[in-house]
Amino acid sequence: MNYEARTISAVRNAIQSGTTTATAFTKDHLQRIREHDQVPGEEINSFLSLAEDRALAQAAHIDALARAGDPLPRLAGVPVGIKDALAMTGAPATAGSAILKGYHPPYDATAVAKLAAEGAVLLGKLNCDEFAMGSSNENSAYGPVRNPRALDRVPGGSSGGSAAAVAAGFCSASLGTDTGGSIRQPAAFCGVVGVLPTYGRVSRYGLIAFASSLDRVGPFAHTVADAATVLNVLAGPDPMDATSSQAPVEDYTASATQPVQGLRIGIPKEYFAEGLDPEVRAAVERSIRQLEAAGCTTQEISLPHTEYAVPCYYVLATAEASSNLSRFDGVRYGHRSEAARNLSGMFRESRDEGFGAEVKRRILLGTYSLSAGYYDAYYRKAQQVRTLIARDFLDAFRNVDAIVTPMTPTPAWKLGEKVDDPISMYLADIYTVAASLAGICGISVPAGESSTGLPIGVQVLAGHFQESKLFRVAQAIENAQPAAS
């Protein structure tokens, strides 16, 4: 089945017209996953589990609606994958960690429930860096994910399985989470669209937390229009999440079709400094010229505290991780060590056996920054810097409607290239973490390829709850790309 036939509108129209059935389409995708996701030596390893019974039951429900001539919901029959950091009945939820192996949630996360209510066929759970901690999807306890565009390359992280599954055609859309770039960066590496909604725009209820003031749930899709359609479904308040916003939800799908003529685009000089790959720079500059040709005005802006974003993020995120992950203790659910001889030993051994190296590293860093004598020097100071970074964006958006930047410093690197160099891995987040700290919305849009055929993404940022502007600019960038062969 070709690329165009997998877009949301194409799937829904084919089912409504009787060209295919949701059941046939679902079986086709499940078979494709079984045949291509776990091929020895060439495994992509994007799916950790399949929810076949649930998927086929939903497909049968959609087919019954179609046969009766009833109106179909917005995502009728659309195959969707769910990052394994989100709760979903009918499949385990491990967050990519051995400490949660075998845990089956008794409920759906709000984002998952909203997709199901709109007719999406939930195929299963997608691989990710353990507890969403990583930029390459090599930290999963269940093996790394490979980039479908180049199997020797990483897909990005932490939502690497979510990006890879869409890029490989295993699903039309997927859910990921973004704490410091975990949707946008893998979307760029795999050549798909990934959306970071404004903090509070999408409910976090049912998300296995990493850093609660930063975690967000958002979609991956083949196209900007599909991403807008999924966000239309996900967005809105939730009584189960006190941090979800009551702000009105606009029609993002309609917004994406609006012209960009007259929009003011900011180009932050700090994002084009040393370390940016020349081919990535060229792709972003080409997208800027295309926006100008579409009627946008562009101007250089400054986000002066950008240089502090990475260290600020890795203090705050690890501190929150230290607190959130304290609940995994071998008592209530998840892994319990058999080697322990007393209560304190059970806590210690269960966590030591269950957590991977990167998670342990971040727990230690976070615990240190929260400890007596260091709280003011690290955690409190990082909160102050976070305020300065947020103010940079607030100041910028007084003069521009959106900001366009590189998405990543380089295209996808090779598997294993950075696993022994965590600092280098952290610095790969240089273009993503500032928006995370500020709580604003962003999107990664494919903007060409490197000379070796690796995808390159461009990032668009907009102010709080300005997703409509985000999709307008992203659609203009997508429209300017050469048609897929």
Angle at 418 between CA 423 and CA 270, to 5 degrees: 50
pLDDT for the residue numbered 283: 98
267: in domain? no
Is the pLDDT at 326 greater than 60, yes or no?
yes
Structure tokens at 209: 């937390």
453: in domain? no
Whole-number Å distance between alpha carbons of 472 and 227: 12
74-83: average pLDDT: 98
33: in domain? yes
pLDDT for the residue numbered 38: 84
What whole-number percentage of the chain has pLDDT above 90? 91
279-297: average pLDDT: 98
Q: What is the pTM of this model?
A: 0.96
Is the pLDDT at 59 greater than 50, yes or no?
yes
79: in domain? yes
What is 315-377 written as a DSSP string? HHHHHHHHHHGGG-SSSSSS---SS--SHHHHHHHHHHHHS-HHHHHHHHHHHHHHSTTTTII
437-448: average pLDDT: 98
Alpha-helical segments (H) within 141-277: 160-167, 184-190, 224-234, 252-256
Catalytic residue among 46, 140, 158, 468: 158
Asked about 269 being catalytic, the answer comes back as no
Domain that residue 250 falls in:
4-260
Whole-number Å distance between alpha carbons of 150 and 168: 11
Catalytic residue among 49, 83, 125, 418: 83
Asked about 158 being catalytic, the answer comes back as yes
| DSSP conformation class of 136 | S
pLDDT band at 6 (very low <50, low <70, confident <90, very high): confident
pLDDT for the residue numbered 1: 41
pLDDT for the residue numbered 5: 55
pLDDT for the residue numbered 422: 84
50: in domain? yes
Give the amino acid at 37: D
pLDDT for the residue numbered 199: 98
* pLDDT, tens digit (0-9, with 9 covering 90-100), for 209-218: 999 999 999 9
Q: Which residue has the tokens 């940022």?
A: 461
Counted residue by residue, the chain has a size of 485
Q: How many domains does the chain have?
A: 1
Angle between helices 278-293 and 467-479 (to 10 degrees): 100
26-47: average pLDDT: 92
Catalytic residue among 182, 203, 350, 369: 182
What whole-number percentage of the chain has pLDDT above 70? 99
Q: Which residue has the tokens 């060229």?
A: 282
Lowest mean pLDDT among 41-55, 134-148, 272-286, 415-429: 415-429
The answer for residues whose C-beta is within 8 angstroms of residue 309's C-beta and 6 or more apart is: 389, 430, 433, 434, 437
pLDDT for the residue numbered 68: 95
CATH number, domain with residue 199 = 3.90.1300.10
Give the amino acid at 11: V
H/E stretch holding 67: helix 52-68
214: in domain? yes
148-156: average pLDDT: 97
240-265: average pLDDT: 97
Q: What is the distance of C-alpha 370 from the center of its chain?
A: 28
131: in domain? yes
Asked about 450 being catalytic, the answer comes back as no
455-466: average pLDDT: 98
Whole-number Å distance between alpha carbons of 318 and 148: 30
Cβ atoms 12, 230 nearer than 8 A = no
Whole-number Å distance between alpha carbons of 39 and 140: 18
Kindly give the pairing relationship between strand 79-83 and strand 121-126. Answer: parallel
462-471: average pLDDT: 98
317: in domain? no
